[in-house]
Structures are given as structure tokens and as C-alpha cells.
Amino acid sequence: MITTSFSLAGKKALVTGAARGLGQAIAIGLAEAGADLMLIDRDPMTETKEAILTQSRRVALMELDLGEMDGTLAHSVINQSILQLNDLDILVNNAGIIRRLATVEFTNADWQDVIDTNLTSAFYLCQAVGTYFLKNNKRGKIINLASMLSFQGGYMVPSYTATKSALAGLTRALANEWAIHGINVNAIAPGYFETEVTAGIRSDTERNKEVLKRIPAGRYGKPEELKGISVFLASPASDYLHGAVIPVDGGWLAR
């Protein structure tokens, strides 16, 4: 049955930025497909944990600021995840922040904080989990959260756009290197979703109207609408998919 190819029964997944929004929905979706979870965020993850427990899946938590990630910490995170879950099959690099300012007003922190959280943490976690997969001759799945700004420039979000463009490139680079070893590295590129990141836009009547006119679907995405693509990329159904950056944007990029 084709449906068995989408099962994550017995799989172990690590999801960053899992306290709310897209990361929360992705984590719950993976649990619904059968995976046990390690959740990472700097904020409390109680709500996500409780939702996963209703699926009778195992869940562990690690409170951590991803902006502090380096190679040593990343290997510690992966090792701790393996210890807690007894293995690790899936990494979802979802954690991200945004700073919205005119470029000439950007401070060092506005640039570096976003780079560290969105890009540097993802690289080091990919490196650490890739080391584990390769050392154990293990098939694995890595899913990076890119953005439609991996394809476009955005407006007054230079550091965010830079990180999301880089994540798309990193996804392709790692796929080129690791596909031969049975490690799938792909990315999801969400458009406008109902999250904290878009709260300011949605509260601005004129700006919100402009955005909705540009989306063929005529609405913002709901976080739970990323469950399907996430399960697909984490499951055996995507075993021959490598280096893809898949837009989930209501048709935004098609217009």
C-alpha cells in the first residue's frame, strides 16, 4: 500500500523552534504520522508536548537559544537527542527570527542575531546529524525551512532574506554531497502563513489587502497546512527527492 510509504512509525525526529507556529504544527504532524520527538526552543513548549502526547508518542524537550549554536553545542544537542529517543532519523531546522527595518537602520545585532539563529544553527545541526548518519551508515532526512524569500528579495528584511537564500543553497550543497549515502536534504519554502512573523502585516489593513490580492489562493496559510509536506519529506515516500526547495505559498511565486 502506498500509504505505508508515508508512515513514520518507529522514527525519531528533532524539530527546532517547536514552541508555536510552523514548528509546532510540523512537530505535531510528524507525531501524527508515528514519530517520537525531541523539541527545541528557547520558549516553553508545553502546548506542543501535550498535543504530541495525545498521539501516544514519546516526546522530550530541550530549552535552548538557537542563536548560541556552534559546532560543539550542535554535536551535544544531537547526542542528547539520540540518548533521549534511542536514535535519530529526522532533523527539521525550523527555528527562525526576523528583523524588519530599512537597511540603513540595521545594527550589528539586527544582522548577526538573524544570521546566527536562522542560518548558523541550521548549518551546525546539519553537520552534527550528518556526522551521525554517515558514521552509522544510516539513511536520514533533513528538512530545512526556507522561505519564498529564498527566491525573492523581500522588503526591509535584508538579514532574513540573506539567511533564507543561504538555506536554499545549503540544502542543495548538502544534497549534492550526501545523496549518494542515502541522506535526503530538502527544504520547504512557506509563503504567508498565520504566524507571529506576519502578525504586523495582517494587522495593517492596507498592507494586508495588498498581500491577499497577490496570493492566488486569496488567503494566508494555516500552520497545520505544512503537516503534509513535512511528513512526505520525512518519510520513505521522498527517498528519491534530493536538494528540492518546495514552495508552499498559496500560489504566490506562480503569479
Which pLDDT value is given to residue 199? 86
Which pLDDT value is given to residue 200? 84
Q: How far apart are CA 131 and CA 108, in angstroms?
A: 32
Cβ–Cβ under 8 Å, residues 230 and 15: no
Amino acid (1-letter code) at residue 106: F
Which pLDDT value is given to residue 60? 98
Cβ–Cβ under 8 Å, residues 125 and 73: no
Active-site amino acid positions: 160
For residue 23, what is the enclosing H or E element? helix 21-32
Whole-Å CA distances, 69 to 94, 207, 247: 14, 35, 27
DSSP string, 114-178: HIIIIIIHHHHHHHHHHHHHHHTT--EEEEEE--GGGTS--SS-HHHHHHHHHHHHHHHHHHHHH
Which pLDDT value is given to residue 164? 98
Amino acid (1-letter code) at residue 109: A
Q: Which residues contact 51 (CB under 8 A, 6 or more apart)?
A: 24, 28, 31
One pLDDT digit (tens) per residue for the chain, 255 residues:
898 999 999 999 999 999 999 999 999 999 999 999 999 999 999 999 999 999 999 999 999 999 999 999 999 999 999 999 999 999 999 999 999 999 999 999 999 999 999 999 999 999 999 999 999 999 999 999 999 999 999 999 999 999 999 999 999 999 999 999 999 999 999 999 999 888 888 998 999 999 999 999 999 999 999 999 999 999 999 999 999 999 999 999 999
Indicate the pTM of the whole model: 0.97
Q: How far apart are CA 198 and CA 203, in angstroms?
A: 9
CATH classification of 2-254 is 3.30.410.40, yes or no?
no
Please work out, in degrees rounded to the nearest 5, the angle formed at the alpha carbon of residue 234 by the alpha carbons of 3 and 42.
135
Task: Pick left, alpha or beta for residue 124 (phi over 0 → left; psi -120 to 50 → alpha; otherwise beta).
Answer: alpha
Q: How far apart are CA 83 and CA 235, in angstroms?
A: 22
Please work out, in degrees rounded to the nearest 5, the angle formed at the alpha carbon of residue 226 by the alpha carbons of 39 and 97.
60
Q: How many CA atoms lie within 13 A of 26 on its CB side?
A: 30
Whole-Å CA distances, 86 to 39, 119, 231, 235: 15, 27, 21, 19
Which pLDDT value is given to residue 197? 85
